[in-house]
Amino acid sequence: MLYKAGNAPPLSTTYWQPTYLNVCVKIDGKLHTRYHRRRKGIYVFMAKHICFFSRNHCILQEGFGMLGKDYGEFEKFLSENRNARKFEQSVELAINFKEIDFSKAANRLNLGVSLPNGTGRGGRLAIFASDRNYLEAASKNGIEVLDGNSLASIADDKERLKQLLDYSLLAQPSLMPGIAKALGSFLGPRNKMPKPVMNVQDMARAGGELGSKITIRSKGRMLPTVHCVVGTEKMDAGKLYDNIKEVVEQVAKTVGVGRIRSVYVKLTMSKPLRLV
């Protein structure tokens, strides 16, 4: 796009440099990063969605400038690849990093993110409980109960341990020490430790939050990447789009924007689309 000097679109953020200018241009209420150079009184605008001088601004205002891809391109990718298999495919995100030493434990990610539109899978809820009030609340909310007095027998039963992985787990707070001792070595590495429900009245809310929360965790000492599921192919494209933005924003706030090398999205059996 060409704009005569003085007639450029309104700028939300401007960074002057000796020979060029980097700006965030607001068009139709959305932020788009543009790079332009002044040549003989003419501003030449070229689409560059990653703003090298105001990336923090872009993250806070528009979710990483939609990661370098606009919504239309993401929607097209989804429509071309959904319903291509005989099963419901997950929508997966891969984030690659740079300049982070993952051999140091302090640098490894273990980040919980609540997806604004959930994971698209209902999931099954279960609670470790023995107190009468917790048992009654679980029954009222349709949550399966795992006997809090039978932790040792569960730990010794390989089949029951496997079944626990099919659930999102809650727990009566007083049982957490026993759960950690009996089941921690199995559930912990699989990121399935139960969430304590501090108040019986909050059981339904806690279950709902658990169903929309994912954990982003570094795997391996030297692997500079993380993977997570942000939904399923049956979800609305706009809702998936919002989930992706939320994950990238939270990761960027944790590690720093400049340390994200690239971001890809794919369905279980599809080719990936690069977002950054």
Residues of the domain holding 143: 124-210
- Name the domain boundary from 210, 234, 252: 210
Same domain for 131 and 198:
yes
Statement to judge: residues 166 and 181 lie in one domain: yes
How much is the pLDDT for 135? 93
Residue 114 within a domain: no
Give the 3-state secondary structure of 151-195: HHHHHCCHHHHHHHCCEEEEECHHHHHHHHHHHHHHHHHHCCCCE
pLDDT, position 70: 65
Whether residue 116 is contained in a domain is answered as: no
Q: Which residues contact 214 (CB under 8 A, 6 or more apart)?
A: 112, 113, 115, 119, 228, 229, 230, 247
Same domain, 183 and 261: no
Q: Do 225 and 195 fall into the same domain?
A: no
Which domain-ending residue is among 210, 234, 251? Answer: 210
pLDDT above 90 as % of the chain: 35
Q: Are residues 59 and 76 in the same domain?
A: no
Is 186 domain-assigned?
yes
More confident residue, 224 or 61: 224
Over the chain, what is the mean pLDDT? 76
Segment among 61-70, 78-87, 115-124, 222-231 with least mean pLDDT: 61-70
Which residue did the predictor score with more confidence, 171 or 53? 171
Rg (CA), the chain: 23
Last residue of a domain, one of 210, 235, 259: 210
Query: Which pLDDT score, from 0 to 100, does residue 62 have?
Result: 42
Q: Which residue has the higher pLDDT, 5 or 85?
A: 85
Q: Do 40 and 164 belong to one domain?
A: no
Total domains, the chain = 3
Give yes or no: residues 99 and 236 share one domain: yes
